[in-house]
Amino acid sequence: MRHPATPATRRTALTLFGAALAATPFLKPVAATASERAIGLDDPAKKEIAMQLVSSAENSSLDWKAQYQYIEDIRDGRGYTAGIIGFCSGTGDMLDLVELYTARRPGNVLAKYLPALREVNGSDSHAGLDPGFPGDWRRAARDAAFQRAQDDERDRVYFGPAVRQGKADGLRVLGQFAYYDAIVMHGDGSDPLSFRNIRRRALRTAKPPAQGGDEVTYLDAFLDARVWAMKQEEAHSDTSRVDTAQRVFLRRRNLDLNPPLDWRVYGDSYHIG
């Protein structure tokens, strides 16, 4: 899971934009047809939107497929961050990914790093990885099998669980995406700041539709809980991926994430037509 450092120079623009957003009244809900309500974030068109939204926050680009080769240490205490969803050498998901890739493609260029990845798991260490690992990651990213492995691990660990929980809570596409983005950043373990504990915090003040609650009220509570969790860590202290993105869609009552979509992350503007 990637935890990107946020450029401080962007915060002034965000403050002004956020103030204007806060003064904007809620719009009336837009009625959805039965077919729209049946569509989830796992619909191919909606999933593509989700990938672009996350990429705008993680990589400052809508071209999420260009991120298979991405790798750097963003100095957040989790070692190397890489790939389409920010797999980290210090959090175990990168190790799982390389193990999957090696099971499918024995002798691949990353296989020799498995002992080192097991050793550095849980730390920010590069021991056994430097100097060759970043270059070999980029070489592996040209292999379609490695790209498929990244897709599959993203879906298994992050996307699938988020969509399943969102549907169980009676949430439409935006709510499912809010869950997905939270799992990408915070993971879904027992950590107090994990997705499941963010959700529990939200449930203290609002009920999701599956429990008889109002969807907009619940999503507001969930995003409040998400912002609280983000502010507990300096690496997450810029909350624009919620404030000037997800809340924009919520205030517009775009619960199905229907284009056109306009939002900002870290002061940069994005559009999906």
Token digits for 110?
Answer: 């990353």
Annotated catalytic residue, options 36, 42, 43, 58: 58
Integer-rounded Cα radius of gyration of the chain: 19
Kindly state whether residue 2 falls inside one of the protein's structural domains: no
Kindly state whether residue 1 falls inside one of the protein's structural domains: no
Q: Rounded mean pLDDT of the chain?
A: 89
pLDDT of 233 reads: 83
- What are 271's strand-pairing partners? 262
- In one letter, which amino acid is 111? A
Which tens digits make up the pLDDT trace of 129-159?
A: 999 999 999 999 999 999 999 999 999 999 9
Annotated catalytic residue, options 43, 48, 72, 76: 76
Identify which has the larger pLDDT, 31 or 148. Answer: 148
Which tens digits make up the pLDDT trace of 47-71?
A: 999 999 999 999 999 999 999 999 9
Does residue 130 have an active-site annotation? no
- What are 82's strand-pairing partners? 71, 87
pLDDT of 36 reads: 46
Is 20 a residue whose pLDDT tops 80?
A: no
Is 92 a residue whose pLDDT tops 60?
A: yes
Number of domains in the chain: 1
Instruction: Compute the average pLDDT of residues 206-218.
Output: 98
Is 99 a residue whose pLDDT tops 90?
A: yes
In degrees and rounded to multiples of 5, residue 266 shows phi and psi of: 55, 30
**pLDDT bracket for residue 189 (50, 70, 90):** confident
* Whether 36 contacts 256, CB under 8 Å: yes
The domain in which residue 268 lies consists of 8-272
Kindly state whether residue 51 falls inside one of the protein's structural domains: yes
Is 101 a residue whose pLDDT tops 70?
A: yes
Reported pTM: 0.85
Give the CATH number, domain containing residue 146: 1.20.141.10
Instruction: Compute the average pLDDT of residues 3-17.
Output: 34
pLDDT of 55 reads: 96
Does residue 76 have an active-site annotation? yes
- Pairing relation of β-strands 87-88 and 268-272? unpaired
Kindly state whether residue 3 falls inside one of the protein's structural domains: no
Instruction: Compute the average pLDDT of residues 205-225.
Output: 98
CA distance 69 to 133: 12
Is 2 a residue whose pLDDT tops 80?
A: no
* Whether 269 contacts 62, CB under 8 Å: no
Kindly state whether residue 70 falls inside one of the protein's structural domains: yes
